[in-house]
Amino acid sequence: MAPVSIEGRAASTLLRGLVCVLAGVALACGETLVDETYSGTPLFSLRGKVVAPSDYVDEENAEVFLMVLWSPGGAMKADRLVAQPGTTRRMEFFRSFEMHLFDEPGPEFLYTTPSGARYGIGRLGAFRDANGNRRKDDSERFEGYSQNALMRVPVALSGGDSPTGAPLSAGWHLVSAPMMCPSSIRTPSPVADGECGVPLGAGCKRDSDCGGGVCVLNFVGEWGGGACLIPEPPPNGCRQKGSVLLRSPAPETTAYWIKACTVTEDCGRLHPYQCDQQIRGCRPSAEVVVDVNGREPARSFCVEQGAPPQ
């Protein structure tokens, strides 16, 4: 995404202020549903859907509201999530959404590492507007959350400062969780140094499209259009150079070698495929799923000791 100039940012802020005045509604301006009234340039956009068990959804009113929640305690201590004002958006259960973010998280939402580096990490939270005032009141609790980690990195992070355990470029990121944080104990992976002739990550319909690999349609989520991967252990013993190992959540033991990457352009696939910075691998994880189930979110974005990333 092209950077927004200071002058452009100021103009956008002024326009939003005028919108708040013209709207004439009894909302604090920070809580205005800007996606319905504002057409400025977003800093970042999220695409996804809100899901829930059938008994959670009112068939006559499938409305649900989302907000961005940040963890000032960083990735490890995510037990206190703080809502960012001005990020409330109205959605509907089971319908695809695109959520535009127009404001930077303030310094109070960012975590400072021991070395002094700073980053924001959070998730989306869902609530139902019981009194119809189109904002979240203290009596309205969050009933669901996204699993992915939303990250805002003002300045590039070193591997020691990044919760992914690898260098992370400046910008906005949507990262699968849990992550292999620097403090996590890593499960050793076999060395991938072979020339196997598998078009890793390429779309496919059948195994024969993938040379010595397999065509995967579903693994830790749906792989739309299929993707050529190499199972672990590989049938022919060849682990392809330029691949990383993606493991299924414990207690499952299934794992596949996927295409390694640095940026999403390396993957050569359309949304929802991206270069997931969780393991720097190409996978269809750019879709946010907000699961409304009444349960609290994980208290950490990091992998439990000895468990693989999902």
Question: How far apart (Å, rounded) are the C-alpha atoms in residues 80 and 69?
Answer: 9
Could you report the per-residue pLDDT of 26-57, keeping only the tens digit for each? 333 334 444 455 658 999 999 999 999 988 88
pLDDT in tens, 234-278: 999 999 999 999 998 877 889 999 999 999 999 999 999 999 999
Report pTM. Answer: 0.83
Residue 188 has pLDDT above 80, yes or no: no
Residue 74 pLDDT level (bands cut at 50, 70, 90): very high
What distance in Å separates the CA atoms of residue 280 and residue 283, rounded to the nearest whole number? 9
- DSSP at 30: G
pLDDT category of residue 22 using cuts at 50, 70 and 90: very low
Whole-number pLDDT of residue 32: 41
Q: Say yes or no to pLDDT of 304 above 60.
A: yes
Beta strands in the chain, from DSSP E residues, in sequence order:
44-51, 63-70, 82-83, 89-92, 96-101, 111-112, 118-127, 144-146, 149-153, 171-175, 214-218, 222-231, 243-247, 255-259, 274-276, 281-283, 287-292
Where do the domains of the chain lie? 6-179, 207-288
User: Among 4-13, 62-71, 192-201, which is the least confidently predicted range?
Assistant: 4-13
